Structure 1
Amino acid sequence: MDLIISADRIRTLADADEAATAVAIRGGRIAAVGTREDVSRWRGPATRVVDLGAATVTPGLIDAHIHPVLGAQLTRGVALSGLDLDGVRRELAVHAATVEPDAWVLGWGLDPNVVRGRTLTAADIDDVLGGRPALIRLFDGHSALASSRALEVAGVDGPRAFDQRSEVVCGSDGRPTGLLLESAAIALVDDAVPTPTVGELAERTYETLNRMAALGITAAHALEHAPQASAVYDLIEAEGELPVRLRCSPWVQPGTSERDWEAVAALQGTGGRRWHVRGAKLFIDGTVDNGTAWLTEPDTLGESMSPYWPDPEEYSRAIAWFDAHDLPTTTHAIGDQGVRFVLQALERTRGRARHRIEHVETIPDDLVDAFATLPVTASMQPTHCTDYTAPDGSDNWSTRLGPLRAARGWRIRDLRDAGVRVALGSDWPIADFDPRGILAAAQLRRRGGAPERVPLQPDQAITARMALEGYTTHAAWSVGEEGEAGTIEVGKRADLTAFAVDPLHAPPDELVEAPIILTVADGAVTHERTESVR
């Protein structure tokens, strides 16, 4: 054996008895599952034996939705999460003073709730930038605020037409306000921002993945494959090892043709030691917060009534093509009509490939039932609910939807009770990737470690086991890897996460601060805490 790990509890998620206290690893695979009494029989002269004492070992955690390379690009500049408008302006002013007079000011995580009763405009930030161009990403990742100087540098002086549901928001005078909705509009300004080198992106990506490993994440579904992604991962592996195994799904956008889809198909299976391309990522709508979700009825501002694909049937043709070629897909669908359309499109396929739907933020009862009739996974992010909405409904998301649709938000428990598989994740950099906080939020329907907070739709809270399954068995099944990952069983990949507490029994408010003792990916230790647990 290469490595033997023992602990007071090993939650295999494959055996109801859960009597195991030791796991043996050889060649990156689980070679044996047993008890501490088996260790002396398993070990060889070169075997490393690690006894974790009172720790609890689980299958390796899988974040079902991250953007590693895109996130490395988007998180350049100043972090603005959690700040009010005065705080945003102050942080931008401080950051602007540190760069050259003509350099770009970048920021991310801006909350649209910093202004109430209106939308953000360039006037909210122009006067603190010292004349510098600025591009500030809003927290939803689907909108951005450009300063007046940035619009001038990029040559954006009026509305534009796009192949997708994007918009350069303009005032009554036809001039851009600074707000840019969806990727095509944002790209008009982003293309003028200096591009980081592959080396810079590799360094930032590695640092992020290393932090993920330190929090128990062994694998992640990278729902992107940006043009530089292959070079970034190759550079990391040329100098060392990816701390987290990545399954990368390239985007398929409106305006693409069968030739473009064939190019995505040709990428399938390419990769390196701990990363590979598999699947495709599509979008059927945008976000509630910026009025680009696809709802059955308009939001309270009369928006969110259009799909991301101007011709939604073209999306249906794309889904059918990928399914016919046994290529799994996942689709971003937030609004109720968007989710409905995707489910209907998937129902018409032959079901050759494994498909899932991302976000599923607001759905009525009939769509819970529709999910249950199909082998489709819901991929959801509990902290999008607990961190970005308010129990009194005063936040932008709830205000736009109104009380009825807001009360149908993030129906994880209803989906689970209906027999639907629900994979959990962060959507980093949209939300923090710490799985402890996400596991806690799924159980509490509020932020873990903040008992003073009022839960949001507490009837949608799930059990500790359901939450852990979302990060293990359901995440693995959602991409057809249930034979390789998700449980601790002989023959599967040796992906393990060791908690200082038992995540199935520890109070969620304690789980958020509980140390991760050990992380193992493909049989290799990617994180190790030196203090033992007794």
Structure 2
Amino acid sequence: MRTADGDARNASADLILRGGVVHSLCAGGEEATAIAVRDGRVARIGDDRAMRELTGPSTTVVDLGGRAVLPGVNDAHLHATWLGALWPDTLFGGHAGPGPGPQRPLLDAAQRRRAILRAGDLLASLGITSYTEPGLGPGEDEGATGAFGTSVVGEYRALAAEGLLRARVTVLSLYGELDGPSDLEHFLAGLAATDATTSDPRWLRFAGVKIFADGIPPMKSAYTHHCYTDGVRPELLVAGADDTEREANLTRMILAAHRLGLQVGVHATGDRAIDVMLDAIEQARREHDVDLGHYVIHGDLVTVPQLRRMAALGVGLDTQPEIALRTHPLVDAALGEGTATAAWPLRAVLDAGVPLCLTSDAPVLSPDWRRQIAAADAWMGPAADPRRRMDRLLRCYTVEPARQDRAASWKGTLAVGMAADLCVLETDPYAVTPDELPDVSVELTMVDGSIVYERGAVEVVQTSGTTGVPETAEAAEIA
């Protein structure tokens, strides 16, 4: 859109949010009080007066009333289709550890579509504007849940083509079983048949592959250098005759994906599994030195030396702090008293410069990102600078997931030209402690410049004249 003088920068905005606090989360970015949106992108950030020349007769003006604007939340590890089938139930529920989910299988395309749309509504109400479905594909075509097979991929494609997705979706393809075995032959065949084409990769993107290396410590299935207290000796989930062959096959899987330019997310909770993954990525980078954003999923028992390797290789970490809080007694029981104290070393992760995404793994846990930030703060212990702690943790749900999505150039922060994906909170999160954050409500969620959730009514205000807000005009309030 351009004004009569041809200066698009001063064209009327579609929407202006003013009278609050805007946290862009840009490096070195300053706080503002208002933000303008045009054609699905951020048009301007500044004070309320800076918005006057962008206000035209059809501009929607919202008075924030002191509320706070953040970039849209991005949950980088969330099983949305399964969540839509199970919610409000989760696998953890009120228990210390995960259990089997309720038996609510998705039996046909209509049920899968409803589950995706139901999850989309839930996530919009939480301020979530992007998420990653970490594992959809033929390995689960016969799965009991009906929430992970190729038919789910088909529903996502259809919803994206119809413009019905409520959030941007990244998909990792799965060529083995969920939480179960895979083999090199089927993995390579899956890679060869991968179709990553999509009508609009900003709404639906097929990024790469997920591989299950191991299980989890409480179930004594994490592949670790530690000895389990009862003598259990777990194996990698990747098929092979012995540990050496299984490790070699996992390495071949990672190398094959890297050579094709595909991102790899490896479910690895044990330190030995992480070692195998990092060795493979190091070899891959020697062969073809390109950073594809590979990452460890969960990483419960990751060590400080491994974190240094991860930072050097550009390997990220997706983890769930609430799992640390809930399961640490179970980890100690499985691996020995005090083991959990060194597990989930979130402080060391941040200090090492490892790209860190806090995630929910919903429906394992609730998709409420505010709970994960509170849990991360509790696990890390007292902060010398609470405001800086909050800033770092918020970035783990916005800036870092955008990096993981290879999309940091257009989403994850609120700068001019970036996607107008944002959420409005009733209170400035920097003015509360992390343990208070779960009680701060989400007031409004916007994706691509369109409001997909509002807690209260937002009314359009018609202004008189083509520019400027008349002194008598009142902005709509978020009820």
TM-score by length of 1: 0.72
User: What residue in structure 2 maps to residue 530 of structure 1?
Assistant: 456
Q: Which has the higher contact order (CA 8 A, sep 6+)?
A: 2
Change (3 A) 1:495 1:324: same
Answering whether residue 132 of structure 2 is matched by residue 209 of structure 1, we say no
User: Is contact 1:270-1:276 (8 Å) kept?
Assistant: no
Q: Residue 278 of structure 1: SS of its match in structure 2? A: strand
Change (3 A) 1:380 1:80: closer
Give distance in 2, aligned partners of 1:328 and 1:20: 36
Deviations 1:445-465 (A, max 9, x none): 2xxxxxxxxxx7668998111
Answering whether residue 401 of structure 2 is matched by residue 389 of structure 1, we say no
Q: Residue 403 of structure 1: SS of its match in structure 2? A: coil
User: Is contact 1:55-1:533 (8 Å) kept?
Assistant: no
Q: Residue 267 of structure 1: SS of its match in structure 2? A: coil
Change (3 A) 1:7 1:380: farther
Give distance in 2, aligned partners of 1:493 and 1:365: 36
Change (3 A) 1:77 1:56: closer
User: What residue in structure 2 maps to residue 329 of structure 1?
Assistant: 264
Shift of 1:48: 1.4
Deviations 1:270-318 (A, max 9, x none): 6688323222111211112222210113311222531111322122112
Deviations 1:11-47 (A, max 9, x none): 1111535232222212211122222112220122222
Q: Residue 284 of structure 2: SS of its match in structure 1? A: coil
User: What residue in structure 1 maps to residue 436 of structure 2?
Assistant: 510
Change (3 A) 1:79 1:358: closer
Q: Residue 433 of structure 1: SS of its match in structure 2? A: coil
Instruction: Return the match for 2:402 from 468, 476, 480.
Output: 476
Change (3 A) 1:325 1:17: closer
User: Is contact 1:288-1:400 (8 Å) kept?
Assistant: yes
Answering whether residue 193 of structure 2 is matched by residue 263 of structure 1, we say yes
Instruction: Return the match for 1:252 from 171, 175, 189.
Output: 175
Deviations 1:475-534 (A, max 9, x none): 111221110111111111111111111222312232111111111111111111217579
Give distance in 2, aligned partners of 1:67 and 1:194: 14
Change (3 A) 1:230 1:83: closer
User: What residue in structure 1 maps to residue 317 of structure 2?
Assistant: 378
Change (3 A) 1:397 1:297: closer
User: What residue in structure 2 maps to residue 198 of structure 1?
Assistant: 109
- Is 21-30 or 269-278 further displaced after alignment? 269-278
User: What residue in structure 2 maps to residue 312 of structure 1?
Assistant: 247
Instruction: Return the match for 1:486 from 412, 417, 436.
Output: 412
Q: How many equivalent pairs are there?
A: 417
Give distance in 1, aligned partners of 2:131 and 2:110: 22
User: What residue in structure 1 maps to residue 212 of structure 2?
Assistant: 283
Give distance in 1, aligned partners of 2:438 and 2:88: 27
Deviations 1:147-184 (A, max 9, x none): xxxxxxxxxxxxxxxxxxxxxxxxxxxxxxxxxxxxxx
Residue type at the aligned position of 1:263: A
User: Is contact 1:4-1:48 (8 Å) kept?
Assistant: yes
Instruction: Return the match for 2:306 from 367, 390, 396.
Output: 367
Give distance in 2, aligned partners of 1:274 and 1:17: 27
User: What residue in structure 1 maps to residue 370 of structure 2?
Assistant: 436
Structure 2: runs of 5+ lacking an equivalent: 1-12, 137-148, 177-181, 240-245, 458-476
User: Is contact 1:64-1:221 (8 Å) kept?
Assistant: yes
User: Is contact 2:254-2:281 (8 Å) kept?
Assistant: yes
User: What residue in structure 1 maps to residue 280 of structure 2?
Assistant: 345
Residue type at the aligned position of 2:113: A
User: What residue in structure 2 maps to residue 147 of structure 1?
Assistant: none
Give distance in 1, aligned partners of 2:116 and 2:275: 35
User: Is contact 1:210-1:244 (8 Å) kept?
Assistant: no
User: Is contact 1:288-1:304 (8 Å) kept?
Assistant: no
User: What residue in structure 2 maps to residue 91 of structure 1?
Assistant: none
Change (3 A) 1:439 1:231: same
Deviations 1:54-107 (A, max 9, x none): 11111111001001124445x2897674467xxxxxxxxxxxxxxxxxxxxxxx
User: What residue in structure 2 maps to residue 187 of structure 1?
Assistant: none
Q: Residue 62 of structure 1: SS of its match in structure 2? A: strand
User: Is contact 1:407-1:457 (8 Å) kept?
Assistant: no
Q: Percent identity?
A: 27
Give distance in 2, aligned partners of 1:413 and 1:34: 33
Give distance in 1, aligned partners of 2:120 and 2:346: 27
Q: Residue 389 of structure 1: SS of its match in structure 2? A: helix
Answering whether residue 66 of structure 2 is matched by residue 54 of structure 1, we say yes
Give distance in 2, aligned partners of 1:437 and 1:20: 26
Residue type at the aligned position of 2:263: P
User: Is contact 2:383-2:389 (8 Å) kept?
Assistant: no
Shift of 1:370: 1.9
Change (3 A) 1:496 1:195: closer
TM-score by length of 2: 0.80
User: What residue in structure 2 maps to residue 417 of structure 1?
Assistant: 351
Residue type at the aligned position of 1:414: A
Change (3 A) 1:385 1:304: farther
- Is 75-84 or 348-357 further displaced after alignment? 75-84
User: What residue in structure 2 maps to residue 98 of structure 1?
Assistant: none
Change (3 A) 1:15 1:83: closer
